Chains A and B, each alone.
Chain A
Amino acid sequence: MNACGNQGCMPWRVKPCGQASEPGGMTQRSCVYFGARYVLGPVREAVHLVHGPVGCTYYGAMVRGEARDLCGTALTEREIVFGGLDRLRKALREVWSLYPRARGAFLYATCSSGLIGEDLAGLARQAEREFGRRVVAINCPGFAGKSQAEGHALAYQALLDLVRPLPRYRYPTVNLVGEYNVAGEAREIRRLLEKLGVRVHTVLTGDTSWSEIETLARAHLNLLFCGSTARRFVSELRQRLGIPYLKVSFYGLSATGASLRRIGEVLGLSSTRVEALIREEEAGVLARIRPWLRIFDQRRALVVLGAGRLGPLSRMLRELGFEVLGVASVFGSPEDHREAAPFSDFLTDDPGDDEFERALAVLRPDLVITNAREQWRAVKLGFPTLSFPQERRRGPYAGYQGFTNFVLSLARVLSAPVWGLLGL
């Protein structure tokens, strides 16, 4: 197999991050438009309008497994040949009367509109003048980058332009940035912060709206959750509007405790109050998860996930007694890899299907953690598999209650009798 560039001795060819995928390698990466939808999909009070053929609109309506409102221009051959801007202009006019409550619109470019050279930004400016409502064009044709990561960046860039300078609230307030509210995780984080008397202005972009984004400068502090998608956004906000930011993680007991303490320090909260909260919550969790820790001990896990979750998740697994055999990102950044490096000696990026299978065959992990789209491959080959983002019914994994849920999910996966019934 050396002719293909694969090294026989390694389950994966160890790839550094940031390289373009090889054609025909069965990458799990997606397109730039996908990335833009990932970030902007849940924003309320906005019309989301895709300028492209019907397929991109159909698929783009699903964001992290949940249906989001999405309109499209459903381009046909005619517009591909003669240009689709007229259709887009007409569509914009229509959406304002169909969604009178919307504060503004996001226009998404796609491969087709990018290739025929449609000037969405120009049209957006024109439309703003005509209708008096904000129209933000996102130049995200699918081919315009190596993966969805570029789309995340473009989306946050678009959000940045909405933010207005405003005076701060009088009570301590934070924004959660890069927190996508998977299965209600933002609710658990909010609960903990509120117990400390800290209010949450908005959650980018898991639970947010157009007007909340416009006014997010009223908060004192941005809490950065997923660094790979949102780090530029918060550092720009610090520069432009002087809002400080703090990188936090609510995955796992140690990270959650440390994050709460840091937040307390920065906002000047009483440390006894913070410590009391941590003590109380930790005690509750420990009592509930203790019975399970035994079955996690020395189990060997393989982690293949998008980008930002790698480090926090590996840390959580370590905390529970797992050994992390290997970590692969799908479109990770150097920062993600640095975060994950201490937990595993084996680190790579963008594995193809064959490389994933070979890793399973060679490493024979006791547990596979991978994304929802690709989980069935590992399941089919008989490996206990936990997928991300988790469905709503599994509950949040962040914070203390989330940690309990995570442990329970792991326990279900690992102790399911089905894995023991494989041989006849």
Chain B
Amino acid sequence: MINQIINQVSEVPLEGITYKKLRPGKKPLTPEYIPPPPELVPAAKRAVCIDPSRTCMPFGAMWATLGVHRAIPFVQGAQGCTTYVRYTFSRVFREPASIASASFHEDAAVFGGRKNLVRGIRNLVCRYKPELIAIVTTCSSEVIGDDIQSFLAEALEMMEEEFGPEVLDLTRFVVVHTPSFAGSHVEGYNRAAKEFLKALSRRSGQPSEDLYFIPGFLMPGDLRELKHLLELMGVSFHVLFDISDTLDCPLVGMPNRIPYYPPGGTRVEEFVRAGDARAIFALSPDAGAAGAKWLSRRYQVPAFVLPMPLGVGNTDRLLKTVSEISGRPIPEAVRWERGILLDAMADTLHYTMMKRVALAGDPDFVAAATRFVCELGMIPTYILVGTKSASAAEEIWKTCEEYNCQPVLMNGSDQFEWEYALKQDPPDLILGHSRCVNISREIRVPLVRFGFPVYDRIGYQREPIVGYRGGERFLARIVNAILDHHYPDDRTHQ
């Protein structure tokens, strides 16, 4: 009955690109396009940054914090730095993200953020009862030169006076300094990884067999896939900053207790025991390695900084390392999954081989994806690494040497430069985030979305791209994009 009525009611038609206009083979570029003067194309030669493919440092620290159980980031800055980030989380994950702001106004700009921090921490503790608060600084508080440690000490003192000493046991604190003018969200995550371990981890003297993992900006689906592999390996492990059950949670209705906290997240206790770990792995060299290295320096826990386990080679590398350090053989079930991925690659090689592909995104994603597309026989052409990264560059060049290709690497550039290159020399396929939609439309080249951020398609945060099974899903995404584009209306193509 209801469906009938819906069908009868016609809505105001929407504008959009019609199927006809989407057909390939039409002349690219809009008629009003004026090419830029060539000397202004490279971002390094410009003062102006157009369409950056990176965002600000506090964002990374907030991401990490939201992967901790009952943890709230407290952003020491004006309200925009928080609200924009809440918006970004809400768009990517479609989940509530509780992030508090110090609400800087004129007085804070003049006198500093002492009052804001002291009052803010108190309000947060007494209204939300978090287990952990990460104080995340911003450009403003860093320019003003807020002395966070002394503010925090004052806040604790005041709270003890007001509520009694028990209040001090309620909440742990971590301070992360993230002035955005000194790095991007990738570096923000990196710093958070280090500061969390520095503030929380201890060594009890009783070494454990546990393996620790710092995932970087892996999505909930990826984290689940990672855990699945480690379970098959039969090792005991902890994933730090585990957003899988904080930013992808079931709808259950009104909880017994409000404020609502998502059920998951890494426990503070897990951070505390990190000093006893058998080994620590950073699965994103640029987002998290600082934490792993610090732990190894402080407590001599062996640290392994590996490329993101995306594709055959990278996943092999992770599993071999895990197998070596834990002394457990790689089980048959894992080999089975690997075989399925290889089977899928062989099945589809006619679609992927020699296809030219451009990539854009965060360094760890792009470096790992470059290796995967090379494994598929594709040829990377223009690679945009949104945040300048030496480790990503090294990994990309190593891959390219192995597979004998010579892409143009734009390390730390903006999308303007990369898109200009694509307009001159369109690839067959683009691998990038949602902000690559415009160029994909303009040059009529299909876009396969991956990495951060994907907000204009549904379910990408749940669908893994790491591990063998994730690789198989990612491959399917790539091949289907090619099929949709090159055979859009070919009903006979079976």
Contact = CB atoms under 8 A, between A and B. Distances in A.
Nearest to B95: A376
Contacts of B84: 30, 34, 55, 59-60
A26 interface: yes
A27 B75 CA distance: 12
Contacts of A111: 77-78, 80-81, 104, 109, 138-140, 143
B17 interface: no
Contacts of A145: 105
Interface stretch (A89-97, A163-171, A193-201, A340-348): A89-97
A31 B84 CA distance: 9
B48 A91 contact: yes
A211 B249 CA distance: 49
Given A373-B87, A404-B9, A74 B127 contact: no
A381 B2 CA distance: 25
Most buried by A among B2, B122, B435: B2
A49 B139 CA distance: 18
A375 B140 CA distance: 29
A94 B47 contact: yes
Secondary structure type dominating chain A contacts: helix
Contacts of B236: none
Interface string B29-53: 0001010110010000011111110
Contact of A115 (B9, B15, B109, B121): B109
Contacts of B163: 3
Contacts of B96: 353, 374, 376-377, 380
A361 to B, nearest CB: 6
A80 B49 CA distance: 16
Most buried by A among B81, B87, B139: B139
Interface stretch (A16-24, A119-127, A243-251): A16-24
Residue from the set B46, B83, B99, B116 with the largest chain A CB neighbour count within 10 Å: B83
Nearest to A191: B12
A377 B93 CA distance: 12
Contacts of A30: 79-80, 83-84
B166 interface: no
Contacts of A408: 6, 9, 11
A22 B48 contact: no
Interface in B1-39: 2, 5-6, 9, 11-12, 14-15, 32, 34, 36-37
A32 B124 CA distance: 24
Interface stretch (A234-242, A315-323, A394-402): A394-402
Interface string B166-190: 0000000000000111101000000
Interface string B222-266: 000000000000000000000000000101111100111000000
Nearest to B97: A376
B175 to A, nearest CB: 15
A357 B95 contact: no
Interface of B: 2, 5-6, 9, 11-12, 14-15, 32, 34, 36-37, 40, 46-52, 54-59, 74, 77-81, 83-88, 90-91, 93-96, 98-106, 108-109, 115-117, 119-124, 126-128, 138-140, 143-144, 162-163, 179-182, 184, 249, 251-255, 258-260, 435, 438
The 6 tightest CB contacts between A and B, nearest first, are A55-B56, A31-B80, A23-B120, A24-B120, A382-B253, A24-B123
Given A24-B121, A376-B95, 5 more contacts: A54-B184, A67-B435, A73-B48, A90-B47, A357-B259
